[in-house]
Chains A and B, each alone.
Chain A
Amino acid sequence: GAVVSQHPSWVICKSGTSVKIECRSLDFQATTMFWYRQFPKQSLMLMATSNEGSKATYEQGVEKDKFLINHASLTLSTLTVTSAHPEDSSFYICSARDNGRHQETQYFGPGTRLLVL
């Protein structure tokens, strides 16, 4: 149980294009999901907290107009990187909290590797 999927697993795009990443909880409902970014050999940095049916909460320094988050259902959150640039190239990982279990535990998706040329 507690499986989180992400799609796509990797994407290469040209500078200036937008990229949408999906995060799904497959066997549980998640009111809250989190989006992280991880650069090579670094830790996970929280970008934003996504709550179903409401606006996301962004961490300091993360541009909400550049990283659009939508959490339209209890099993799906999406992150759209708008007008992507090479410096946005990174490993994007989502996590989800299971409504039915210990609320603190976060289950991570497999990540999406984004390369912007």
Chain B
Amino acid sequence: GENVEQHPSTLSVQEGDSAVIKCTYSDSASNYFPWYKQELGKRPQLIIDIRSNVGEKKDQRIAVTLNKTAKHFSLHITETQPEDSAVYFCAASQGYALNFGKGTSLLVTP
């Protein structure tokens, strides 16, 4: 089955800096890659997603890049703010079930 690796497990940045989280996947048939943000005790919220026919997607301060050949995708957050502090999960899917990475705990310090 699909195996999704996510790094780093924790990330601390200063407010205003950029944060990058990287994921790799094992199944070349995966074609959908969402990123979720989860605050403590709350539901995961979809923040951005990308499909395999696209190499990059941007939404304001958030961007995701996908390298199908290398089977990795990354989340980029620019101009980080304290409210960006949360756990971020990447996932890979063949259009059905989501296989999640282990998560990255991001801390943005003022």
- Contact flags B34-70 to A (C-beta < 8 A → 1, else 0): 1010000111111001010000000000000000000
Q: Is A49 an interface residue (CB 8 A)?
A: yes
B42 touching A42 by the CB < 8 A rule? no
Q: Could you tell me if A43 and B44 are in contact, using CB atoms closer than 8 angstroms?
A: no
A67 surroundings in chain B (CB, below 8 A): none
Task: Classify the secondary structure of A's interface with B.
Answer: strand
A105 within 8 A of B: yes
CA distance in complex: A111, B36 (Å): 15
In the assembled complex, the CB of A22 is this many whole angstroms from the nearest CB of chain B, namely 15
Cβ of B89 < 8 Å from any Cβ of A? yes
- CB contacts (< 8 Å) of A111 on chain B: these are 41-43
Query: Does B25 make an interface contact (CB < 8 A)?
Result: no
A65 within 8 Å of B (CB atoms): no
Q: How far is the CA of A109 from the CA of B51 in the complex (A)?
A: 23
Chain A positions within 8 Å of B, measured between CB atoms, are 32, 34, 42-46, 49, 93, 95, 103-111, 113
Taking a contact as CB atoms under 8 Å apart, the answer to whether B102 and A43 are in contact is yes
Contact (Cβ within 8 A) A49 B97: yes
With a 10 A CB-CB cut-off, give which of B43, B46, B93 has the most chain A CB atoms. Answer: B43
Contacts of B49 in A (CB 8 A): 104-105
Nearest chain A CB to B89's CB is how many angstroms away? 6
A-B residue pairs in contact (CB < 8 Å), sample of 7: A43-B103, A44-B100, A46-B97, A46-B98, A105-B49, A107-B46, A108-B43
| Residues of B close to A106: CB separation below 8 A | 34, 46, 98
Q: Nearest Cβ in chain A — how far from B7, in angstroms?
A: 13
**Pair B102/A104 contact, Cβ less than 8 Å:** no
For the complex, what is the distance from the CA of A106 to the CA of B97, rounded to whole Å?
9
CB pair B101 A43 closer than 8 Å: yes
Contact present for B97 and A105 (CB under 8 Å): no
Find chain A residues with CB under 8 A from B99 CB.
Answer: 46
B89: which of A43, A109, A110, A113 is its contact (CB, 8 Å)? A43
Give Cα distance in the complex from A95 to B34, angstroms.
14
Select one of A42, A44, A103 contacting B95, CB under 8 A: A103
